[in-house]
Structure 1
Amino acid sequence: MRIEISVESPQGVRAAAAAGTARVELCAGLSDGGLTPSVGLIEAAAELIEVHVLVRPRPGDFAYARDELDVIVRDIETARKHGATGVVVGALTTEGEVHDACAAFVEAAGDLATTFHRAIDVSADSRRALDRLAELGFTRVLTSGRRRSALAGAPLIRELAGRTAVDVMACGGVRAANAAEVAEVTGVRDLHAAPRRPVGSALTGDVSYAGVGVPAGSDHFETDPVEVEALCGIFRH
């Protein structure tokens, strides 16, 4: 079983590396669903672990304007130059089909692994989308089976996993407590998780906390190293 941890900081990268994670999905802005990280973070992470860079130019839907699609291609090329071993990317038409621009994404990635992200879960039809991704040469797809959790979406995930040569990675609420069950009911060999915990500010004195969506008294979220270690430990032996 290969475990991928979604992280957005050097601390998260170190936690994943220490636990023996197969790779990280490197992001910025996980509170916004994940955005393209900085070049500096890509370079720092690539020194420690296999890095698959999320390339997503903005929050919201995956129906991008022409200039946004061009930015995605540029960001893929940048990630490749600065140490990434894979990219996580995707785009849909306004009708929910896999956008033809995804062919340019695969071309820009070259020999990098290409994962189509959870845009598949809001596509018009996940089966049709997966077939198109196989035609385009994508390596992997990330899905919760169109449900909030991998366990709830397990029947569709299992069906997709046996449909094409594209590897299917299950996500959605994956934690140490349920990872073995998720693996069993979906039949996949790749699991994706983003275990995080709220942390307070390192500043002393009267601090005005500005973290988005974090509990009162906290400042931001950070990768939870205890949960990452526990999750990876499930499949270590």
Structure 2
Amino acid sequence: MRIEISVETITGVDIAARYRVDRVELCGALAEGGLTPSRGLLELAVRRAEGVEVHPLIRPRPGDFRYTPVEIAVMTRDIRAAVGAGAHGVVLGALDADGLLDTEACAALIEAAEGRPVTLHRAIDASASPRRVLDQAIRLGFARVLTSGARHSAIDGAAAIAALVSQADDRIAIMACGGIRASNAREVIAATGVRDIHAAVRTPVRGAAAGAVSFLGIGVPDGFDHFDTDDGGVAALCSAVTGKPQAAPREFE
């Protein structure tokens, strides 16, 4: 089994390195579904990852995955910058007006990755036909697909994920996501047959008292400031998946 953790801070990268997960999906603005992280964040993440692969998300804006030529140009430049910063791979996706992969755009983005593995993200879950998109992804040379089975959670989409695993037939990796935690990881694995799982294990962080103007992120509870990676949650997830006890959480510099 391979474990990927979605993070948006160096604290998250440090936690992933501590528990030796296989990959981090490095993002900005997870409250917006994830956006392309800054180059500074990526460079430091690669430096501190300690053997954990760092795969930045390439997503230029919130919203759907139908991008203009100018947005594709931005994504291409972001991928080249990520490669230059030492990224081990990238995570991306683009749909056309029919809700299938924009094959011309995806081919150009994959080429920009210069041979690094490319993950097709949850654009597949917003597509007109995940099964047809999977075939497209295989032909284009994507390394893996991140999916919740086009449902809110991997548990709800387990049957659809299992169907994609069968369709993939080891030609591409299927990575399950959507509400995966220590409490349900084994259930998801058993129900889907995946060998890769992805989780955004986050916890709210207390901040300074808010003034008249608030800049709180989406969904942050009252009395807290933002979300960050949950050390104990990652430890529990890794233990549940691998069956090996994890070290106690610690504070990071």
Secondary structure of residue in 2 paired with 1:57: coil
Q: Are 2:99 and 1:96 equivalent residues in the alignment?
A: yes
Secondary structure of residue in 2 paired with 1:120: helix
Q: Are 2:176 and 1:173 equivalent residues in the alignment?
A: no
Kindly state the Cα deviation for residue 210 of structure 1 after the two structures are TM-superposed: 2.6
If the length of structure 2 is used for normalisation, what is the TM-score? 0.90
- Equivalent in the alignment of 2:57: 54
The correspondence for 2:204, drawn from 166, 179, 198, is 198
Deviations 1:155-202 (A, max 9, x none): 11011112121100000000000001100100000000001111111x
Q: Which residue identity does 2:69 align to in structure 1? A: R
Q: Are 2:232 and 1:229 equivalent residues in the alignment?
A: no
Kindly state the Cα deviation for residue 39 of structure 1 after the two structures are TM-superposed: 0.7
CA contact (8 A) 2:185 2:241 kept: no
Q: Are 2:154 and 1:145 equivalent residues in the alignment?
A: no
The correspondence for 1:80, drawn from 80, 83, 89, is 83
Kindly state the Cα deviation for residue 224 of structure 1 after the two structures are TM-superposed: 0.5
- Equivalent in the alignment of 2:31: 31
- Quick one: percent identity of the two aligned structures? 53
Count of residue pairs the alignment pairs up: 234
1:93-172 maps to which residues of 2 (within 5 A)?
A: 93-100=96-103, 101-164=105-168, 165-172=171-178
Separation (CA, whole Å) in 1 of partners of 2:97 and 2:115 = 29
Deviations 1:82-112 (A, max 9, x none): 0100100000012201002101111111221
The correspondence for 1:210, drawn from 182, 194, 215, is 215
Deviations 1:29-84 (A, max 9, x none): 00000000011111111121310110000000000111001111111111111010
Q: Which residue identity does 1:221 align to in structure 2? A: F
Secondary structure of residue in 2 paired with 1:36: coil
RMSD value, Cα: 1.0
Where does structure 1 lack aligned partners over 5 or more consecutive residues?
A: none
- Equivalent in the alignment of 2:246: none
Separation (CA, whole Å) in 2 of partners of 1:69 and 1:143 = 22
Separation (CA, whole Å) in 2 of partners of 1:52 and 1:223 = 16
